[in-house]
Each structure stands twice: as C-alpha cells, then as structure tokens.
C-alpha cells in the first residue's frame, strides 16, 4: 500500500498530464488534485476542468496567475537584463518557479503528501520544478512519472488512453504542431521534430506570434515606454498593468517581426538542445531597459550589474530562483534601480528594436560636460594628463623591467 494519499499535479489538460492523472490513481492508489495555471499561454484553460472531472478528480484548481507572473518573476528578471548564453531571454525558465510555488501552496491547502509534474527526465524543467518545491517545502515528495513508467512514446500514451477510456480528443491531437511547444506571456518555444537537426531551417509556418521580418510593415512603429524603478509602467503615456504591458508589447513586436531566436543551448542536465523562441515583448523591454539605465545608472553600478548578469541568468535557467544567492543578487540589482526612471523612445522596424531617444529627471548625462563645443570651463582637459600617467604607471614600470610587448 502506497504511503501517498493525495498528490497535486501540474495539469495542462493535454495528453501527457491526462495520462498522468490515471497513472497516479492506479499506481499510487491515491487522490489526485489538479492545478492548471493561466500564465498567458494563449489557450483556454477552463476546458481542463471538464477533463479533470471526467477523470474522477474532485479538487480542481484553475488559477489566473498572469499579473503575478509578470510582476513578481518577469519584471525582476528584466531589471537584471538577464540573458542566458548571450541570447536566450529565459521565457520557459522563469515560469517554473511560479508553478512550483503554487503547487506547494495547494499541497499545503489540501493536505497533499506529494506533488507531480509532466516534465521528462531529459529536460531542465524537472530540475526547476523540483528545486523550487524542495526550497519551499523540504519534506515534500515529488512524483515524476516520466522517470518511473514504461510509457516511452506518444503512441504508447495514446494506447494507454484507449485502453482506459481516458477522454482525449484524438482527432485534434493528430493535427497538432510537429514541435513540442511551451507558451506563456513572455514567450513561446519550439523543440523536437525537424529542429533536432541543428542545420534545419524552421518552416515559416512554425512561428505563431510574429510575422517574418521580410513581411513586416514597411513603415516603422514608434513607441514610448515609461519606466519607474526599472519597470515599464506606461506605453505611449498610458499606464498599464504588468501583464497588460507585456501582452501589448508582444502584439506590437510580433506585428513588426521582432523577437525570433534560433538557439543551441546547454541544458543543465548536460546535453545540448536546439530550440526556437519568440519573445517579442521581452526583446523590446530588454532594449528599452538598457537604454534608460544608460542615462540613469552610475558607471560602476552598471558595470557590476553586467558582471553579475550571466551568473544570475544561469541561476534562473538551472532552477535556483528561490536560492539565497539569487535573492542576494536580486537585492543588489533592485537597489540599483531606485533612479531608473524616465522615458525611452523606440522604433520597431522589420525585426529591429532601435532606441531613438531617452530622457529622465534622474539622468546623469550632463550636456555641459559632454559637449564637443565650448564647455565654459566645466571640464579642465589638462586634468586628463595626470589621470593617464597614473593609470599608465604600472605599465611603464613593467616595460622598464624588460616586459615590453615589442
């Protein structure tokens, strides 16, 4: 007899997680609680309720987490300008700690013994879900069916459904994209299928959120983003909530062919993986945030942020959102954002995000000092001679000791 009486499952309503519900019931003889999160994936989540009921689930959670997702996870990450391996804007990675957090909250509310997820044993998501869960509830049990069962393919999953009369719409499933896709308000990703050949160019009809740069409008779109403490709060003068801001920027970016990425990345579990991503709103936000920081951040604070960023991004990618080191870094990053206020003007054109203006009441840009015209004594150019000689001192000493590069 299993010591698991109740499990909270991250449930999408799709084939894999529908099989998991029945598999958990049969394998562990336990009650299953389903949790479906709306984080802006662009699909109706309410149908998951009927599917869960048909599987005998009595406790069903369907939560709209869009505002929390952008406000408490996406925005803090963008205050850090986080990019993994120079390109990836971490759209899948940053959603996982929120889902893990809500799984644990529901486990506490329902008295569940365990949580479960549909991530495979080859991917990063199993690590992200479980590191998050253990950080929040150290004694929680985690059931990862893909690491336990003998169902190894889509065909075996379909056969399992037919044998047990699991309600899955087989006809619509056959028409689905050939790629494994994950979407939320920040991005949509594509993996598998032809993309497993890293030399294969994705078909144009694979992309869902953006037009190709070649087919984008010939007239640029100009927008103004208003920032407060490092967060975008207004678009063209209109105040928007975090989720509405990101959704609106996704539409504007996608319409102008912005945000496509084709990447071979290094997974935490050790393998390389090829994925394609669309992150239109995030691409705009990253460019705009760096622009407003360029006039409001002190030089050394900005440079220190840039040095911390790769470590911070790797922590998120690898699943350490709730780690003490991420929180320490976040505190430093957020401290730097107190004066990151103002407006950035951007031109969106055929896949490009071009900064064309920035202004702030907290700007450190001093035209009187920076000017190439007469500065009326604001800067004494003779001071540069001593500055250069002091900085050259160690180089001159080394050269005098025979260490010249010539």
Q: What's the confidence (pLDDT) of residue 105?
A: 98
The token duo for 401 is: 């000791």
Q: What's the confidence (pLDDT) of residue 301?
A: 97
Is 60 exceeded by the pLDDT of residue 196? Answer: yes
Q: Which of 66, 79, 116, 125 is catalytic?
A: 125
Is 60 exceeded by the pLDDT of residue 204? Answer: yes
Beta strand spans in 175-298 (E): 180-183, 188-191, 221-228, 231-235, 238-239, 260-266, 272-278
Q: How far apart are CA 204 and CA 223, in angstroms?
A: 27
**Over the stretch 308-366, which tens digit does the pLDDT of each residue have?**
999 999 999 999 999 999 999 999 999 999 999 999 999 999 999 999 999 999 999 99
Q: pTM of this prediction?
A: 0.94
**Over the stretch 81-122, which tens digit does the pLDDT of each residue have?**
999 999 999 999 999 999 999 999 999 999 999 999 999 999
Residue 205 designated active-site: no
The token duo for 209 is: 């959120």
Q: What's the confidence (pLDDT) of residue 2?
A: 74
Q: How far apart are CA 333 and CA 298, in angstroms?
A: 13
Side-chain half-sphere CA neighbours of 141 within 13 A: 14
Which residues does the annotation place in the binding site for L-aspartate? 120, 124-125
Is 90 exceeded by the pLDDT of residue 44? Answer: no
Q: What's the confidence (pLDDT) of residue 178?
A: 86
First-to-last CA distance in the chain? 79
| CB neighbour class for 253 (10 Å; exposed up to 12, middle 13-18, buried from 19) | buried
| Contact present, 171 and 28 (Cβ < 8 Å) | no
Q: Which of 66, 96, 260, 274 is catalytic?
A: 96
| % of the chain exceeding 70 in pLDDT | 98
Helix (H, G, I), strand (E, B) or coil at 374: coil
Residue 169 designated active-site: no
Is 50 exceeded by the pLDDT of residue 171? Answer: no
Long-range contacts of 355-361 (CB under 8 A, 24+ apart): 355/287, 355/288, 355/291, 356/222, 358/291, 358/292, 358/294, 358/295, 359/295, 360/292, 360/295, 360/296
pLDDT band of 169, cuts 50, 70, 90: low
Rounded mean pLDDT of 204-215? Answer: 97
Q: How far apart are CA 120 and CA 191, in angstroms?
A: 13
Q: Which of 49, 63, 72, 180 is catalytic?
A: 180
Which residues does the annotation place in the binding site? 10-18, 37, 88, 93, 118, 120, 124-125, 128, 180, 189, 265, 277
Least confident of 33-37, 39-43, 152-156, 257-261: 152-156
**Over the stretch 270-311, which tens digit does the pLDDT of each residue have?**
999 999 999 999 999 999 999 999 999 999 999 999 999 999
Which residues does the annotation place in the binding site for L-citrulline? 88, 93, 124, 128, 180, 189, 265, 277
The token duo for 62 is: 């369907």
- The mean pLDDT of the chain is 95
Residue 180 designated active-site: yes
Which residues does the annotation place in the binding site for ATP? 10-18, 37, 118
């Amino acid at each position: 007899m299993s010591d698991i009486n109740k499990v909270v499952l991250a449930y999408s309503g799709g084939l894999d997680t529908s099989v998991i519900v029945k598999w958990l019931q049969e394998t562990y003889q336990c009650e299953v609680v389903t949790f479906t999160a709306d984080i802006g994936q662009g699909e109706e989540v309410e149908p998951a309720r009927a599917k869960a009921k048909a599987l005998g689930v009595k406790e069903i959670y369907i939560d709209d987490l869009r505002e929390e997702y952008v406000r408490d996870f996406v925005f803090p990450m963008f205050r850090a300008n986080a990019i993994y391996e120079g390109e990836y804007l971490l759209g899948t990675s940053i959603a996982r700690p929120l889902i893990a957090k809500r799984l644990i909250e529901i486990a506490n509310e329902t008295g569940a013994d365990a949580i479960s997820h549909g991530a495979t044993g080859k991917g990063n998501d199993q690590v992200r879900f479980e590191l998050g869960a253990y950080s929040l509830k150290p004694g929680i049990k985690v059931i990862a069916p893909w690491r336990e069962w003998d169902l190894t393919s889509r065909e075996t999953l379909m056969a399992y459904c037919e044998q047990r009369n699991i309600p899955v719409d087989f006809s619509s499933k056959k028409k689905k994209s050939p790629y494994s896709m994950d979407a939320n308000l920040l991005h949509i990703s594509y993996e598998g299928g032809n993309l497993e050949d890293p030399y294969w160019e994705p078909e144009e009809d694979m992309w869902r959120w953006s037009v190709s740069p070649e087919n984008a409008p010939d007239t640029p779109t100009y927008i103004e983003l208003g920032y407060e403490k490092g967060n975008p709060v207004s678009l063209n003068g209109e105040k928007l909530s975090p989720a509405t801001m990101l959704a609106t920027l996704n539409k504007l970016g996608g319409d102008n062919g912005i945000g496509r990425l084709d990447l071979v990345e290094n997974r935490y579990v050790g393998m390389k993986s090829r994925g394609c991503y669309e992150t239109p709103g995030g691409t705009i936000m990253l460019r705009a945030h760096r622009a407003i920081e360029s006039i409001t951040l002190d030089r050394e604070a900005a440079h220190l942020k840039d040095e911390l960023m790769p470590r911070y991004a790797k922590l998120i990618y690898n699943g350490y959102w709730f780690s003490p080191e991420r929180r320490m870094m976040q505190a430093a990053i957020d401290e730097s954002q107190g004066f990151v206020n103002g407006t950035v003007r951007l031109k969106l054109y055929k896949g490009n995000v071009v900064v064309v203006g920035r202004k702030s009441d907290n700007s450190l840009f001093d035209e009187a000092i920076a000017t190439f015209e007469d500065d009326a004594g604001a800067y004494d150019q003779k001071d540069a001679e001593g500055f250069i000689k002091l900085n050259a001192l160690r180089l001159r000493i080394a050269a005098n000791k025979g260490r010249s590069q010539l």
